[in-house]
């Protein structure tokens, strides 16, 4: 080999090697962990230093959500979340003064504050969040204000046929079990909640040892750690252990599933059955299977049909959702409606069909891609909320799923009872 060819070959090999090393490094950096600290009150702190980040992001998660709402007082944890920043002034302050954003979300499993701002405003951001969770203003006047605002939101939700169908099928599947009740609350349940209920929820759940704080951006980790100790160090921890188990739900309801509505041209159909918990060893395979079913259903019914699996700490559910299902053709006549002969075979037929390699690879690729796009901080927060093995394990799991794993989930799902809910216009 002459010198020129040798150099050419050497250069090409070096470039390939460099590219491989760079790819490996980028992948490792992507899943590299944050600096982890724990305060004396057991508040967990995660810090990522990202010099190139334009904004600093702070996420504070309380690892308890609407699953802990008392029966007939659904919406308590949602109101507690609303009470942390009870007016728009704080959000305007973050937008206009800090060049960022502020929002609070709540669901069955947690309450989370998401805040962003300019890197030089990290102290102000942390101070604002610390005041909200360590000294929340819970009194009669504030409670009445946030309760009235949430009741108005729920009134609008309860006018939405899609929301009504979602809640109906969840209730049929779980009854009084947490996932059978609305995380937002109902008009009736919210009216029963007073400030004493929010105080009790605060004392039980809004505590340092039930929270994780994640800070990422162009920040100095030592500075952040020092500030967090000063601002959150006095946050009280719980004196009672939060129960981690719930009574098992009753058997799914098998009575009438029809919900006539006065609204014209409405047909919202749902099928549902119980699925897997977020920390179940087969959950990644169930995600792939859910996507396979979703792709099959859309190929048959179009974009107004979908399949999704909820993700919760406790075993949740899989839903087949049809919007505008035979709208205008199917109408309720009293307590009856004419249904196709194979109506109740919809789920069974989807599960019976053989899984083909191409549809498996397509679904798996979609799940792997989606998992890779999840914010690193959210992955680490999920680790605590859902009692997961590790972030690395969560990232790798979808890639390791096989058709045999998916077939195993199919066998588990075949044992589940299927319920239905149909919100449909009345005949005139």
The angle subtended at Cα 73 by Cα 70 and Cα 77, nearest 5°, is 75
Q: Where, residue-wise, is CATH 3.30.830.10 in the chain?
A: 35-232, 258-425
- Integer Cα distance of 409 and 415 in angstroms: 10
Name the region of 75 (left: φ>0; alpha: ψ -120 to 50; beta: rest).
Answer: left
- The alpha carbon of residue 247 and the mean position of all alpha carbons in its chain are separated, in whole angstroms, by 22
C-alpha distances out from residue 51 to 48, 119, 123, 213, 221, Å? 10, 10, 17, 20, 11
Phi/psi class of residue 166: alpha, beta or left (left: φ > 0; alpha: ψ in -120 to 50)?
A: alpha
| Domain 258-425 CATH assignment equals 3.90.1310.10 | no
Residues 6 or more apart in contact with residue 319 via CB below 8 angstroms: 166, 169, 270, 271, 272, 307, 308, 309, 310
pLDDT at 11: 39
Torsion of CA 272, 278, 282, 283, to 10 degrees: 60
The reply to whether CATH 3.30.390.50 applies to domain 35-232 is: no
Tokens of 394: 């969560």
Cβ burial of 228 (10 Å; 0-12, 13-18, 19+) is buried
What per-residue confidence (pLDDT) applies to 306?
Answer: 96
* Residues with pLDDT less than 70, the chain: 1-32, 240-245, 255-256, 341, 428
pLDDT value of residue 1 = 44
Report pLDDT for 428.
Answer: 60
pTM of the model: 0.88
The SS3 call for residue 260 is strand
């Amino acid at each position: 080999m002459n010198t020129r060819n040798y150099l050419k070959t050497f250069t090409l090999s070096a470039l390939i090697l460099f590219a491989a090393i760079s790819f490996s490094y980028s992948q490792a950096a992507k899943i590299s962990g944050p600096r982890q600290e724990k305060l004396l009150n057991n508040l967990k702190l995660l810090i990522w230093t990202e010099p190139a980040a334009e904004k600093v992001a702070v996420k504070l998660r309380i690892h308890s959500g609407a699953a802990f709402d008392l029966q007939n007082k659904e919406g308590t944890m949602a109101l507690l979340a609303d009470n942390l920043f009870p007016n728009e002034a704080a959000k305007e302050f973050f937008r206009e003064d800090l060049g960022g954003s502020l929002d609070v979300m709540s669901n069955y499993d947690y309450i989370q504050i998401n805040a962003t701002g300019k890197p030089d405003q990290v102290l102000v951001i942390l101070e604002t969040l610390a005041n909200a969770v360590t000294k929340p203003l819970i009194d009669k006047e504030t409670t009445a204000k946030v309760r009235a605002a949430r009741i108005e939101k729920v009134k609008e939700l309860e006018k939405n046929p899609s929301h009504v169908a979602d809640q109906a099928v969840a209730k049929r599947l779980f009854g009084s079990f947490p996932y059978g009740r609305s995380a937002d609350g109902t008009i009736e349940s919210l009216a029963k909640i007073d400030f004493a209920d929010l105080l009790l929820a605060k004392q039980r759940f809004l505590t340092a040892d039930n929270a994780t704080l994640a800070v990422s951006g162009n920040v100095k980790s030592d500075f952040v750690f020092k500030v967090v100790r000063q601002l959150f160090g006095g946050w009280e921890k719980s004196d009672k252990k939060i129960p981690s188990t719930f009574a098992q739900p009753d058997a799914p309801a098998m009575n009438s599933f029809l919900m006539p509505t006065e609204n014209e041209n409405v047909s919202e159909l749902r099928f549902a059955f119980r699925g897997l918990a977020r920390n179940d060893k087969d959950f990644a395979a169930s995600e792939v299977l859910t996507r396979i079913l979703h792709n099959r259903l859309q190929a048959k019914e179009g974009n107004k049909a979908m399949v999704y699996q909820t993700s919760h700490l406790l075993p949740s559910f899989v839903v087949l959702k049809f919007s505008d299902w035979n709208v205008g053709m199917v109408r309720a006549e009293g307590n009856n409606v004419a249904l196709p002969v194979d109506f109740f075979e919809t789920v069974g037929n989807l599960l019976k069909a053989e899984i083909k390699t191409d549809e498996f690879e397509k679904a798996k690729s979609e799940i792997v891609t989606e998992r890779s796009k999840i914010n690193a901080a959210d992955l680490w927060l999920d680790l605590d909320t859902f009692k997961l093995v590790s972030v690395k394990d969560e990232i790798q799991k979808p890639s390791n799923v096989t058709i045999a794993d998916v077939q195993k989930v199919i066998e588990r799902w075949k044992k589940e009872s299927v319920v239905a809910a149909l919100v449909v216009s009345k005949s005139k």
